[in-house]
Amino acid sequence: MTAPSRPPLKSITPTATTPHAAPQPVDTPTAGEPKGVAEGVPIAVRPDPQQGDGRRPVAWLHIVAPPSWGITPSARSWCTCGYERQAIGRAAVLQLIAAHGEHRTACPLLNPTSEGRTAA
């Protein structure tokens, strides 16, 4: 009995006998010709369209109070004028909340007429 003949495992592609040139673009710019700007790219910097009403955050109060009574709460209050306080514990956090409210009424950035300054 003879074994059936198998086809070859790899096929060899025939090579081209003549070289072919790569296709050339139809409309090629000549040297020194200016290129156009890509579509959708702004030429000049434009102002931000979402400027809002001119308000910006100045003072922050961050309180961490986990739901478990066994974990101690903490808080941090800070302002762009340089005011910064931290508190750990329930009583200290409550005092810091009150001090944050008092600072908002006395802050020179929020109330320019406070701290001895008078409006002209």
How far is Cα 87 from Cα 72, in angstroms, rounded to an integer?
10
- Specify the pLDDT at position 77: 95
The proportion of the chain whose per-residue pLDDT surpasses 90, expressed as a percent, equals 28
Nearest to 58 by CA among 113, 115, 112, 117: 112
68-120 pLDDT per residue, tens: 888 999 999 999 999 999 999 999 999 999 999 999 888 888 887 755 444 44
pTM for the whole thing?
A: 0.49
